[in-house]
A = this chain, B = another copy of it.
Amino acid sequence: MTQTPVIDCLQFANWSEEIFREMRAGGVHAVHATILYHGDFREMVREIEAFNAWFEALPDLIFHGRTGDDVRRAMAEDKTAIFFGIQNPQPLEDDLDLIEIFETLGLRFMQLTYNNQSLLGSGWQEPRDGGITNFGREVIREMNRTGIMIDMSHAGEKTTREAIELSERPIAVTHANPRFWRDEKRNVSDDIIKALEQSGGMLGFSLYPHHLKGGSACTLQEFCEMAARVAERHGAGMLGIGSDLCQNRTDFWVQWMRDGRWRKVSPLAGEAAKAKFPEPTSWFASNKDFPGIAQGLREVGFSDAEVGGIMGGNWLRFFDQTFTRRP
């Protein structure tokens, strides 16, 4: 009997019965699912509708997760709770009151920026990072009130630091690795990890090859040794997994994630651009591979309690803290 849950705090799969069954096979109790990259409010709602159809079709496998207790329910009932998130705040338009609507619809994670400038802050790919905007401050306050998790995975350094400072509730970087391990702007600096630690925030390790040292060739041991180094410096209690698993997505989606509708792309450029998903590592290609990660963490010296925390116990604690509306 599992004492702590297994939680993956970011996936963007081409959802299917097969994948939901793999979640069960891998013992995954909760997944933060990205439901939208680029799109407006109505398009986001359409994605929720698609998940509702899955929930109605496969009630023995999955259900809509909204709270930490839903993770416990998933553990008790051998199911996977799917938590909704958006990586781009575009569905928010310029309407602060939509935050509470998002919460009512069961959205639990929102990045304040995707790669580019948003109305809230600067993404990591912008040449200039202007930090949190006027509207961004209001949105942080309203996300704090309604209990939606602030996720800064794709934000610029300054924007991320300011979000940590401005937010009354701890925030998360759900899917990134330390730059000291793979020096890539999309990964997080020591300063940010420190700020997360000091504010009670969380870091979810990514398993997306572009975020791994050595890319697709990275070994499980190297990944786990990196985790051990972060734990030595900052403690294991702020660590979790946000795999960034993009299973069964065609390469079209790489280009969509990057270019969306903001950059001109010729309909003939799909082939030419050659944007492709990286090959997965040999040890992480689907939800079935989570037990191997737990084993790898044990082998580099983490205690059972620490492994349980990193595999999901820490996220569960953080869900309990975060997903409550303030009176």
Q: Contact flags (1/0) for A71-101 with B, using CB distance below 8 Å?
A: 0000000000000000000000001011011
Q: Which A residues lie at the B interface, using CB under 8 A? A: 41-42, 45-46, 48-50, 52-53, 95, 97-98, 100-101, 104-106
Given that A42-B42, A45-B41 are known contacts, is A53 also in contact with B106, CB under 8 Å in the complex? no
Most-contacted residue by chain B among A45, A98, A105 (CB, 10 A): A45
A101, B42: Cβ atoms closer than 8 Å: no
- Report Cα–Cα, A95/B49, bound state, in Å: 10
Query: How far apart sit A48 and B99, CA to CA, in the bound complex (Å)?
Result: 12
How far is it, in angstroms, between the C-alpha of A100 and the C-alpha of B49 when the chains are bound?
8
Q: Of B42, B50, B105, which is within 8 A of A105 by CB?
A: B105
Provided the pairs A41-B42, A42-B41 are in contact, do residues A52 and B105 lie with their beta carbons within 8 angstroms?
Answer: no
* CB-defined contacts of A41 to chain B, threshold 8 Å: 42, 45
User: Smallest Cβ distance from A95 to chain B, in angstroms?
Assistant: 7
Please state if B42 and A100 are interface contacts (CB–CB under 8 Å).
no
Interface centre among A41, A46, A101, A106 (most CB of B within 10 A): A101
Across the A-B interface, give the 8 residue pairs with the lowest CB-CB distance, nearest first.
A49-B97, A52-B100, A45-B101, A104-B105, A49-B101, A41-B42, A52-B97, A42-B42
Name which residue of chain B comes closest to A45, CB basis: B101
Q: Name the B residues within 8 Å of A98 (CB-CB).
A: 45, 49
Residues of B within 8 A of A97 (CB): 46, 49-50, 52-53
Give the chain B neighbours of A52 by CB distance below 8 A: 97, 100-101
Please name the residue on chain B nearest to A53 by beta carbon.
B97
A141 to chain B, nearest CB (A): 13
Task: List the B side residues contacting A48 at CB < 8 Å.
Answer: 101
Give the chain B neighbours of A106 by CB distance below 8 A: 104
Q: Within the assembled complex, what's the spacing in Å between the Cα atoms of A97 and B106? A: 16
B residues near A50, Cβ cutoff 8 Å: 97
Q: Considering only CB atoms, which chain B residue lies closest to A96 in the complex? A: B49
The distance in angstroms between the C-alpha atoms of A208 and B42, with both chains bound, is 36
Residues of B within 8 A of A100 (CB): 49, 52
